[in-house]
Amino acid sequence: MKHIPIAHILSGQHTEQSVTVCGLVRTCRQSKHITFIAINDGSCFESLQIISELPADQTADISTGTALRCHGHVVPSPGTGQQWELQAQSIEITGEAPESYPLQKKRHSLEFLRGLPHLRPRSNTFNAVFRLRSSLSHAIHRYFADLGFHWVQTPIITANDCEGAGEQFRVTTLPAGDTHMEQDFFGRPASLTVSGQLEGEAFATALGRIYTFGPTFRSENSNTSRHLAEFWMVEPEVAFADLDDIMALAEDFVQSMVRHVCDTFAAELAFFEQHMEKGLLQKLQQTTAGSFARITYTQAIEILLEAPRSFTFPVAWGVDLQSEHERYLCEEHFQKPVFVTDYPKQIKAFYMKLNDDGTTVRAMDLLLPGIGEIIGGSQREDDIHVLQQRMEEIGLDMESMDWYLELRRYGNQPHAGFGLGLERLLQYVTGVHNIRDVIPFPRAPKLI
């Protein structure tokens, strides 16, 4: 690589050296004899100031959005706000930005930038969000690798409906309206995966500790700030583990990821604190400071019924918790992250371990302030007879799911796991309100 990342220069790795840097112009200010240019290459949050005393005709066409290749010497900066700057010996314009360039030197709303998904990574906000997303993804892999987990790449195209809710995108080569399934590509119904969990369970029974990390898809028609049709999930699965084991893993995992962000992205978090969420830094620090609260679903209902406020959605035992209920529990009542366990079986998936009371399952959701549910997990049902009955109750195709039952027939073992949505974790650590602003190209109803 012939040019040096700006992050290396600003960290003092190339002081008083002749270097080449490349990037996009954030600002350009011209005086009588000197041109001050701030360029950014995405390697860090801060921009590098270029000082040019070159003839005016060489810098006249430089404006916000122009792509430059600059060569010069790195020297200490006499100004405030930066330690190093580049005194240009030559500047090459590799791509001009005309007056119609939509990202001019002013603050743009997230709604406006959402309409420019191909350009918005050039803005301060999204430049920071997507670098943080990249780093957090690497941290997720390192976390599980350090604990001896194996990464399993589960199918994106599947015949399994993990959640049993039917909110799947169909994959087919048949023309619209054609029902001759035997002529379809796979010869049977297929869809985009809603979760890699079921396949992950198969590998956990062989490899002990595994995790999946990849895109998942839901055709749920929810046009909200919390839902996407395509999003990324990390799903660990652990053999010979119970619900307490997997909650301990979930708590340590979330705290480790928050710690990584706090330790790595000080400048970005200060920016998010100023522009996205007041109190963000304190919230993140509190997340890592102590253990999370733990209550049962029944206790959660009792707390909500006694709450000194009303809710839009009614509270009753047997009804699934809504976002307003979840956020009350973790933001107002406990004022910290909360695990809710032992949900009624009728509002949870078929694969969750039935409790001895016959009415609740060994499930857990992790609720975070400002977000609500970020993790859903459970101990998996290892009694083949109970599992088969639950599958029959919701009308699953028993023939196509026989392989899943065989995991209980052959070498049966207790196991547990959870799923975390990467985008909701990003919302939590950045303070970004809309989930469409933490994924590069959001997919949602009527949006592609």
Identify the pLDDT of residue 167.
Answer: 84
Identify the pLDDT of residue 164.
Answer: 59
Q: What's the pLDDT tens digit per position in 131-174?
A: 999 999 999 999 999 999 999 999 999 988 776 556 899 999 99
Please tell me whether residue 150 adopts helix, strand or coil conformation: strand
Q: What's the pLDDT tens digit per position in 247-280?
A: 999 999 999 999 999 999 999 999 999 999 999 9
The amino acid present at 15, given as its one-letter code, is: T
Report the alpha-carbon angle 342-347-353, nearest 5: 45
Identify the pLDDT of residue 340.
Answer: 98
* 392: its two tokens: 């029959």
Averages of pLDDT over each 10 residues, the chain, 448 residues = 89 85 94 92 95 90 95 89 91 94 90 95 96 98 98 93 75 88 89 94 97 95 87 98 98 98 97 96 96 98 96 96 96 97 96 97 97 96 96 88 95 97 97 96 90
DSSP 53-75: -S-GGGTTT--TT-EEEEEEEEE
What is the fold, at CATH topology level, of the domain defined by 120-437? BirA Bifunctional Protein; domain 2 (3.30.930)
Distance CA 66, CA 382 (A): 60
Write the CATH number of the domain with boundaries 6-105: 2.40.50.140
Number of residues that this document lists for the chain? 448
DSSP state of 253: H
**Domain ranges across the chain:** 6-105, 120-437
157 pairs with which residues across the strands? 192
